[in-house]
């Protein structure tokens, strides 16, 4: 019997497993939960969203939106789940993370071609083609095996934002509005501050006590910019937050008729709108300090925290030295990696690599040549980035137009340029699907 091993039931692993199973090949999906969990995981379900419930922008004229549209056209299982449980988030696609994980879990468990094996993998299987999709929270035992194989592994630390109950937000000090009025008017709750309130909050934040971290140098941690703890960001200067997660541009406080000095936005965490997360407020402060400091924001003075922010290890391999464009290992084409362990950064970026790894692992199993997605697509550009041998200081990368080849007739207008990138990508993807994917189904 032919089958493919997939290790890890996160976003990349579930996407890869479904791409393979939907093409009629058996999958053995290994997942260590519920027997063992990483410090950042809470649920026993698959496809758990740890940091945020946002999957970034929806517009196809944005890099993140283009990637999601490409995934839809590749019949992405994860995108189907996400679209079914979307919650209002302005111009972003955000999901009810519980429903999302439930949909992913049910889809995997009910597929006749997928066998779930709840066990921790400490040795990489050699009985068949294998995809390692254990993510940035790879268990110590397996991480050690990966280091033994490749001689190097990089790590940094990721942070998650707190979540508060909706009814504990004091709306006398808040207002609902999407930035620049994009999306629904109640997609975000905005918590404004004047100059004095912000300075009081800022001083408390930079002096607050942080939780102890293990397994790394607390005086010199490697923290990825995309999930920078808010207290670390604040230490760069008093104005940093006002140009980052607390920027007030595009917002007007109806009580004053003016733009606030600083604003914290709260985004719906679930479809019923009973919980909200603090946008951009990933943190490693001690739990009592989070309560004390964040309650200094007027709208949160009586906030009830249902989850405090946490910080955890995030591990990735030096992919340009290890992987090919198809996410296979250069020294062993029967072994693939997928997800954030490869250095693609972001939920959908992780899932998209599962599409590429899954399709190509199946081709290897069938004795066929692997295929490369067009470099003009976001799927192809991400796989090109993680396998680019010219990259010297490899760091995680999310979807962005900078990794796409330049346009032949580059519009000067930014919006027109983004639209041109998207149109070219989708046209090239459709031709690629017609020539390479439909012929094998």
Give me the mean pLDDT over the 170-188 stretch. Answer: 85
Least confident of 226-240, 348-362, 389-403: 389-403
The more confidently predicted of residues 313 and 246 is 246
Per-residue pLDDT at 296: 98
Q: For residue 220, what pLDDT is reported?
A: 43
What was the pLDDT predicted at 22?
97
Percent of the chain clearing pLDDT 70 (strictly above): 92
For 5-41, the pLDDT digits (tens) are 999 999 999 999 999 999 999 999 999 988 777 666 6
Residue 350 — very low, low, confident or very high, per pLDDT cuts 50/70/90?
very high
Q: Which two tokens stand for residue 286?
A: 């001690």
pLDDT band at 44 (very low <50, low <70, confident <90, very high): confident
Q: What is the mean pLDDT of residues 215-222?
A: 44
pLDDT class of 224 with cuts at 50, 70, 90: low
pLDDT at 217: 35
**Per-residue model confidence (pLDDT) at position 74:** 98
Give the span between the Cα atoms of 297 and 168, in whole angstroms.
Answer: 13
Q: What is residue 433's DSSP assignment?
A: I
Q: Compute how many other C-beta atoms are within 10 angstroms of the C-beta atom of residue 171.
A: 12
Tell me: cis bond preceding 409? Omega within 30 of 0 counts.
no
Question: Per residue in 358-372, pLDDT tens?
Answer: 999 999 999 999 999
Quick one: pLDDT band at residue 291, thresholds 50, 70, 90? very high
Read off the pLDDT of each residue in 90-94 and give the average, rounded to a whole number. Answer: 92
Residue with tokens 């996410």: 327
Q: Which residues contact 245 (CB under 8 A, 6 or more apart)?
A: 230, 233, 264, 265, 279, 280, 281
């Amino acid at each position: 019997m032919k089958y493919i091993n997939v290790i890890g039931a996160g976003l990349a692993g579930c996407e890869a497993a479904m791409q393979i199973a939907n093409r009629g090949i058996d999958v053995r999906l290994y997942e260590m939960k519920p027997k063992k969990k990483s410090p950042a995981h809470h649920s026993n379900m698959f496809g758990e969203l740890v940091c945020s419930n946002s999957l970034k922008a929806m517009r196809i004229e944005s890099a993140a939106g283009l990637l999601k549209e490409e995934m839809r056209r590749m019949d992405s299982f994860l995108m189907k789940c996400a679209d079914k449980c979307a919650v209002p988030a302005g111009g972003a696609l955000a999901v009810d993370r519980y429903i999302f994980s439930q949909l992913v879990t049910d889809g995997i468990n009910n597929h006749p071609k997928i066998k779930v094996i709840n066990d921790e993998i400490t040795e990489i299987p050699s009985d068949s083609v294998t995809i390692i999709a254990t993510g940035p929270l790879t268990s110590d035992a397996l991480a050690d095996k990966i280091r033994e194989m490749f001689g190097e592994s990089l790590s940094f630390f990721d942070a998650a934002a707190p979540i508060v109950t909706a009814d504990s937000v004091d709306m006398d000090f808040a207002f609902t509005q999407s930035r620049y009025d994009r999306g629904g008017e109640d997609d975000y709750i905005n918590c404004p501050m004047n100059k004095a309130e912000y300075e009081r909050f800022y001083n408390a934040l930079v002096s607050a006590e942080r939780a102890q971290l293990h397994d790394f140098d607390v005086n010199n941690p490697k923290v990825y910019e995309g999930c920078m703890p808010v207290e670390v960001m604040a230490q760069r200067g008093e104005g940093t937050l006002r140009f980052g997660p607390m920027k007030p541009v595009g917002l007007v406080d109806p009580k004053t008729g003016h733009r606030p000095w600083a604003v914290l936005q709260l985004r719906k965490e679930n479809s019923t709108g009973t919980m909200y997360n603090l946008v951009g407020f990933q943190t490693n402060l001690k739990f009592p300090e989070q309560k004390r400091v964040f309650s200094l924001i007027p709208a949160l003075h009586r906030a009830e925290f249902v989850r405090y922010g946490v910080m955890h290890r995030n591990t990735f391999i030096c992919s340009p030295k290890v992987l090919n464009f198809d996410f296979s290992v250069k020294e062993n084409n029967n072994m693939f990696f997928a997800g954030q362990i490869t250095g693609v950064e972001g939920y959908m970026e992780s899932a998209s690599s599962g599409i590429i790894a899954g399709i190509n692992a199946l081709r290897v199993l069938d004795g066929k040549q692997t295929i490369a997605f067009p470099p003009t697509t976001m799927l192809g550009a991400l796989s090109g980035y993680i396998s680019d041998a010219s990259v010297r200081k490899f760091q995680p990368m999310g979807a962005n137009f900078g990794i796409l080849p330049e346009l032949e007739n580059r519009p000067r207008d930014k919006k027109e340029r983004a639209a041109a990138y998207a149109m070219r990508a989708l046209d090239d993807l459709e031709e690629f699907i017609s020539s390479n994917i439909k012929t094998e189904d």
